[in-house]
Amino acid sequence: MSFDRYVAICNPLRYTTILSNARMAKLGLVGLVRAVLFMLPLPLTLSRLPYCDNRIIPCTHCEHVLVAMISRGDITFNRTYSLVIPLVLMGSDLMLIVLSYGLIIRAVFRISSKGAHQKAFSTCTAHICVMLMSYISIFFISLTHRFSEGIAPHAPIILANLYLLIPPILNPIIYGVKTQELRDKVGKYICQRPLTFN
């Protein structure tokens, strides 16, 4: 999203040539390869662990650390890998996002029109809110599962479920608040008088 915003604000006339279908497919392929390379060791290390008869995961969805915790083997590598990799991936993503938005802000300040400043910042604000919401929540979920000693057993489960529910619910709301047409339609719908039947 930040690369898309960078191109849209800094090179709007070349947007379709820079973000062509072929280039977007290559970026998608890079993302897929990165995900496979970093996530493939997780199930491979889990398959080598010895498990006892109790195979009930104490959560509503299957996460690597939770599956490792029900094994009888040494899960030091699993705990370390599943803590370091999200930090490395999120750290690299956040560095690229900060770089992209830094370039956007520099380009926006070079524009003399105040209306253009406001429009650019308005567009970027929604993206930044969505990214912060996603990254902060996944960071806390990741830490909660690893350091859950002394916490009520249902707290990590509730937090994990909230992570799976809240970002998808809030994404359209965050983007919708910025859209004038949607605000007008919602306002009309809310302010509409209820029908009376005779």
- HEC assignment per residue over 145-179: HHCCCCCCCHHHHHHHHHHHHHHHHHHHHHHHHCC
Tell me: the pLDDT tens digits for 160-196? 777 778 878 877 777 777 777 777 777 777 776 554 5
pLDDT band of 148, cuts 50, 70, 90? low
21 vs 136: CA distance, rounded Å: 31
- Global pTM value: 0.67
* pLDDT score of 134: 78
Tell me: the pLDDT tens digits for 44-70? 888 888 887 777 777 777 777 778 878
Tell me: the pLDDT tens digits for 101-137? 888 888 777 777 777 677 777 777 777 777 777 777 7
Q: Residue 20 has which token pair?
A: 């062509």
- CB distance 108 to 160 below 8 Å: no
* pLDDT score of 182: 74
Helix (H) or strand (E) holding 187: helix 180-191
